[in-house]
Amino acid sequence: MNMGYFLEAMHEQALIEQILAKNPYAERYGLTLSREDAGLLAVERGRILRQERRVEVGQGIMPQIIEVFCDSAYISQDNYVDSLVRLEEIFFAYKNETMDELTDGELLSFMKEQFETVCGGDMEYLEGTCLELFAQAVRAGYQGHQATQGRGVFGELDIVTRWDRALYLEALEQLF
């Protein structure tokens, strides 16, 4: 047996167990993963790491992604596995885009906050707008995220004009 294959299989099995260990926490939010789901996530992890030319040492990021996102208003049992795979793809793409200037916790905090608020659960908006703006700022030397662990910083970077309820009501009042 090829030693590299053996080590990879052992690491994959350990990751499956780490993922399944998050089930009791995620079950509080109506989410659970089967052993088959966990196996799929472990296989996808390998694909994503190869695609992004990354290496993970020790515990993978997936258990942290599960912990951070399982209480999301936009993730249900029906889209749980697909959402986790997509979030891991986005995570590693933006670890690269930010040149590893962010800790895993900072990136996950930023991703979760934007996913739940500005993005309204839209993965494409998270990746293509929120994280793209954030990565550009980080590459340009922005460090405002460090004091807050990535929370509450998007307003400083956001260039998109957003709908403002109070302003809308005021304009509506002036019309009538």
The domain segmentation of the chain, as residue ranges, is: 1-97, 102-176
C-alpha distance from residue 29 to each of 62, 70, 81, 164 (Å): 17, 7, 14, 31
Contact 90, 73 (CB under 8 A): no
Mean pLDDT of 85-110: 93
Q: Can you give the pLDDT at residue 96?
A: 87
Q: Can you give the pLDDT at residue 59?
A: 73
Q: Can you give the pLDDT at residue 79?
A: 98
State pTM to two decimals.
Answer: 0.81
Q: Can you give the pLDDT at residue 149?
A: 60
pLDDT tens-digit readout, 102-144:
899 999 999 999 999 989 999 999 999 989 998 998 898 877 6
Out of 1-15, 73-87, 129-143, 154-168, give the one with best mean pLDDT.
73-87
Q: Rounded CA gap, 153 and 174, in Å? A: 33
Q: Can you give the pLDDT at residue 8?
A: 64
- Look at 141 and 91; give whichever has higher pLDDT: 91
Contact 22, 66 (CB under 8 A): yes
Structure tokens at 61: 């990021």
pLDDT tens-digit readout, 99-109:
988 899 999 99
Q: Rounded CA gap, 71 and 6, in Å? A: 35
Mean pLDDT of 150-154: 57
- Look at 96 and 21; give whichever has higher pLDDT: 21
pLDDT higher than 60, residue 5? no
Between vectors from CA 152 to CA 146 and to CA 154, what angle results, nearest 5°?
95
Contact 134, 110 (CB under 8 A): yes
pLDDT tens-digit readout, 24-74:
999 999 999 999 999 999 988 888 878 888 776 667 899 999 999 999 999
